[in-house]
Amino acid sequence: MLQLDNVSFSFAGDEGSDRSTTRTLSDISLLLEPDRVAAVMGESGCGKSTLLDLIYGLQQADHGTITWKGEELLGADHHLVPGHPMMKYVPQEFDLMPFTTVAENVGEHLSIQMKGREDRIKQLLEVVEMSTYVDRKVKTLSGGQKQRVAIAKALAEEPKLLLLDEPFSHVDNFRKNMLRRRLFAYVKEQKISCLIATHDKNDVLSFSDETIVMRQGAIIDHRETKSLYSKPKTIYVASLFDDVTVVPAGIFGNQEELLLYPHRLQISNKGYKSTVIQSYFKGGFYLIECQDKDQVLWVNHGSYLKPGETVFLSIR
Ligand SMILES: Nc1ncnc2c1ncn2[C@@H]1O[C@H](COP(=O)(O)OP(=O)(O)OP(=O)(O)O)[C@@H](O)[C@H]1O
């Protein structure tokens, strides 16, 4: 179990010695139960990577404690080499040895005498779909391929806690879905706890048991993913997943303000009258932007609608 208690952190000011007055992370407390996958979401600059850096020991907290199964994980002031044997981190700028092969990178920390070493490397390269590149020098790989090697390398030593920072940001869409399915299946099978900083709702909705939302260095919500997605408390949280219509009380006979994703509204023969502003092709449907005075509404619809057209909206 990973536990953070009242952790705060500020980067040192430009002058060097004094800590800046603005906190990068303030009063972070969280609990991650064993074998759980938790996503950390939030706008750019809210502190997601810094949080992972702190947990891994790349930075030193100003206040608070970080523990794993009750044992304190000490920060950067206490060791030269960050990390802990049970924990692996794949940061955004992953660290590989460019002039050695994919297999050598994945097996870098595995003992040469280890029984089944080759099989282990092979198995991990299958998880990240890099088996055919086993003997390729890392410097000849694309960014997405390197990212997959970095993930395999992190898994090699059987971590109990895996920290991933935007793990699929360099991977093309074609592979991303398969890679996500394989990686999270492996993580669950091996009972690895996982904390993943991401902007991508696809990492969150299908694969994260729980979601932590950060804003300006603080955690503003932390719940089971399904609950957080379907009952967002603020427009900030809802907007991390999709376009969102803020529906004031009364518009659809609702007693209080509602936050609705586009799939919750429909175009019908009667309802709230508004005008089409724009239709955006989304593949299997169109996202229609509608407006009535100051009220903007987002609705999914099966076909293109012309700007200026009058439509009536109701809740599905
Ligand atoms: N080395 C540093 N020195 C000073 N400030 C930093 C440093 N690294 C990050 N910051 C600042 O700390 C804040 C948090 O940065 P962080 O990288 O943790 O955000 P993030 O949520 O991971 O962003 P993104 O989603 O864009 O990766 C930002 O305001 C950033 O500018």
Q: What is the pLDDT of residues 161-180, one digit of tens each?
A: 999 999 999 898 888 999 99
pLDDT digits (tens, 9 = 90+) for 192-235: 999 999 999 999 999 999 999 999 999 999 999 999 999 999 99
Tokens of 199: 């902007």
d(CA 244, CA 239): 6
d(CA 223, CA 286): 31
The answer to whether the CB of 11 is under 6 A from ligand 1 is yes
d(CA 217, CA 288): 34
| C-alpha closest to that of 210 among 200, 231, 196, 199 | 196
Contacts of 189 (CB under 8 A, 6+ apart): none
Determine which residue's CA is closest to atom 6 belonging to ligand 1.
11
Q: Which amino acid would we find at residue 308?
A: G
| C-alpha closest to that of 36 among 188, 189, 262 | 188
The answer to whether the CB of 274 is under 6 A from ligand 1 is no
For residue 14, what pLDDT band results from cuts at 50, 70 and 90? very low
Residue 290: what pLDDT? 97
CA R_g for the chain:
23
Asked whether residue 141 carries a pLDDT value surpassing 90, the answer given is yes
To the nearest whole percent, how much of the chain has pLDDT over 70?
Answer: 97
**Rounded mean pLDDT, 184-195:** 96
Determine which residue's CA is closest to atom 13 belonging to ligand 1.
45
Mean predicted lDDT score pLDDT of the chain: 93
Residue 157: what pLDDT? 87
| C-alpha closest to that of 49 among 79, 9, 15, 86 | 9
The answer to whether the CB of 45 is under 6 A from ligand 1 is yes
CB 161 within 8 A of CB 195: yes
d(CA 33, CA 68): 10
Ligand 1 atom closest to the CA of 42, numbered from 1? 21
User: Between these two residues, 74 and 134, which has the higher pLDDT value?
Assistant: 134
d(CA 131, CA 108): 17
Tokens of 16: 């060097």
The answer to whether the CB of 91 is under 6 A from ligand 1 is no
End-to-end CA separation in angstroms for the chain:
41
CB 144 within 8 A of CB 170: yes
The answer to whether the CB of 47 is under 6 A from ligand 1 is yes
Among 9, 49, 165, 215, which is best to mutate for testing ligand 1, by the most ligand atoms less than 8 A from CB? 49
**Rounded mean pLDDT, 271-297:** 96
Residue 21: what pLDDT? 57
Sketch out the chain's domains with CATH numbers. 2-235 (3.40.50.300), 242-315 (2.40.50.140)
In this structure, the strands spanning 2-9 and 193-197 are unpaired
Among 20, 43, 46, which is best to mutate for testing ligand 1, by the most ligand atoms less than 8 A from CB? 46
d(CA 115, CA 251): 67
Asked whether residue 15 carries a pLDDT value surpassing 60, the answer given is no
Ligand 1 centroid – CA 165 distance (Å): 12
Residue 81: what pLDDT? 75
Find the helix or strand (DSSP H, E) in which 181 lies: helix 173-189
**Rounded mean pLDDT, 253-272:** 94
d(CA 27, CA 23): 9
**Rounded mean pLDDT, 249-253:** 89
Ligand 1 centroid – CA 46 distance (Å): 7
- Where is average pLDDT lowest: 17-26, 158-167, 230-239, 262-271? 17-26
Determine which residue's CA is closest to atom 25 belonging to ligand 1.
44
The answer to whether the CB of 46 is under 6 A from ligand 1 is yes
The answer to whether the CB of 44 is under 6 A from ligand 1 is yes
Residue 13: what pLDDT? 63
d(CA 54, CA 34): 19
